[in-house]
Every structure is written in structure tokens, then in C-alpha cells.
Amino acid sequence: MTLPSSATNHPNFAEIYEQALVPHLFRPWAEVLLDQVQVSAGDRVLDIACGTGIGARLAKERLGSGGQVVGVDQSQPMLAVARAVAPSIDWREGNAGALPVDDRTKFDVVLCHQGLQFFPDRPAAVREMRRVLASGGRMAIATWRPVEESPMVRELGGVAERHLGPIVDQRHAFGDGNAIAVLLTDAGLNDISVRTMTRLLRLPDATLFVRLNAMALVGMSSAGKTMDEEKKAQVVSAIVADSGDVIARYADGEGLAFHLGSNVATARG
């Protein structure tokens, strides 16, 4: 589960990400992906752009003592947290466009949860997924739907743009389900299906979520790329201070409550 490198490079971001975002934002969708591929005893599972590893960890729970689980990510801080939380899983640093997996190793299940939209060469990444997928193996990919379909995320982005100018939100930059289907078809995959799914999510610490979201938006903005760390921190604090009205609209007494949609694509090797 990749995030912009400008965010993941921030000191302690990986730990905060694991504690604040994974349980409430990423775990529910990782469970959806695993339900789609129906992980079963003895499966070999590869989680690409694994982040701190929630997809791989849930797969390991479902497999029990059998099977093999490998998680790949290019972020050393994210992998450090993954290794600390689940040392028994095979965590590997690597690029999705050139996976650290040799041609003799094949996986029954390949997952990519909110990573595809960040890859600089998406066709190469999907070809790599196909290369390591066993014949008849199952693949599941998720990418967030367009930002226009998530009112709270869109409104928070509008607050940030008042401080930063126009922002292209990479997290929602590959929301076209048809484009995902084309990628999978071109890579030679079979039984392709792309569905749109929406879930109601709750994050108990609204201010922390808004701060992490502001950090990501600053990192993705053109203006943010010219700032030193002190200036970025000042702008993030200003965005959070100006986001009170948005927080109030989506708070329900238990934190933020909002709907978030994702493409969920499945295919077979």
C-alpha cells in the first residue's frame, strides 16, 4: 500500500501510518481483496507495494502455519515496521517494475492494494505481476476511485489548495476501472473483472487523519516540492487549522465517518 515518497520519508511516518491509518482505512480493503482471491491452505501469496504489510499479514493469518507469504515494497521505513510487527513473513525491498522474484518462483495469489496508481510504469508492473503468477493463479488489485467521488477527501483537498495551489492527488489518479481492465488484458491475464465497491469508514482521531492527509497533499503539490521541512510543517499546520469545518461536517461522535470507493480488479493467470 504505497503512499507518495514525500510522505513516507517523513521521520516516524511509517509508525504513525501503521497505528493510525492501517486499522481503520487499509485493513478493511485488504480483507476485501483477500475475500476476492479466496486464500486457502498451502497458497503462496505475494503482496506488492505492501507498505507496513497489512495484506500480507492478513493472508498469513488465513493460511495459518502452511503456505508462503512474501511482501515487497520500495520503502525501507515501511518494511522496517512490517518486519517488527510480523518477523516470520518474507519482506523484500524492491520495485514493482522489477520484482525481487526469480523466474522459477510462482505465486498462487498476487495482491496489490492501493499501489498501482503510484507506479511510474504501470504496464511494466502488471507484466511483472503476470510473470510471477502461477498458471491459474489469482490476482487482486485495488485503486481508489476518483477524488470527485469522495466528498470529504475532495473538500480536504480544496482546503489544501488554498495554501498550495492546484494539486494532482496521486492517490486517486488511477480511478478508471476500464483502464485497469485494459492493463490486465494487455498483460495476458484471464477472467478479468473490475468492480466498484464503497465502504463506510471511521477514523477515531480526526485531527491526526487530517494532518497526515495534509502532509501527503503538501508532498504531492508543486509548491511543496520547493519548501524546506520547516516550511512544510508550517503549511501542514495551517491546512489542519483551516479544516475544522470539514471535520465538523463528517464527525459523528466517534471520529470521522465517510464513504470511500475503490476499484477492485481480479484476474487469473
Rounded to 10 deg, the angle between the 151-164 and 206-220 helix axes is 50
Going by pLDDT thresholds of 50, 70 and 90, the confidence category of residue 12 is confident
| pLDDT, tens digit, 9 for 90 and up, residues 98-131 | 999 999 999 999 999 999 999 999 999 999 999 9
pLDDT at residue 10, as a whole number: 52
Q: Does the domain formed by 5-147+168-202+260-268 have CATH 2.40.30.30?
A: no
| pLDDT, tens digit, 9 for 90 and up, residues 208-226 | 999 999 999 999 999 999 9
CA distance 193 to 138: 12
Closest CA to 1 of 73, 107, 57: 73
pLDDT at residue 183, as a whole number: 97
| pLDDT, tens digit, 9 for 90 and up, residues 140-182 | 999 999 999 999 999 999 999 999 999 999 999 999 999 999 9
Instruction: Answer yes or no: is pLDDT of 3 > 80.
Output: no
Closest CA to 216 of 255, 160, 146: 160
pLDDT at residue 254, as a whole number: 85
- Average pLDDT (56-60) is 97
In percent, how much of the chain has pLDDT > 70?
Answer: 96
Q: How far is CA 57 from CA 7, 27, 64, 181, 186, in A?
A: 23, 10, 10, 27, 30
Closest CA to 121 of 186, 52, 51, 168: 186
Contact assessment for residue 4 and residue 219, using Cβ atoms and an 8 Å cutoff:
yes
What are the extents of the domains in the chain? Answer: 5-147+168-202+260-268
| pLDDT, tens digit, 9 for 90 and up, residues 227-250 | 999 999 999 999 999 999 999 999
Going by pLDDT thresholds of 50, 70 and 90, the confidence category of residue 65 is confident
| Amino acid in the structure at residue 42 | G
CA distance 19 to 4: 18
Assessment of whether the complete model's pTM goes beyond 0.85? yes
145 secondary structure, DSSP code: P
Going by pLDDT thresholds of 50, 70 and 90, the confidence category of residue 6 is very low
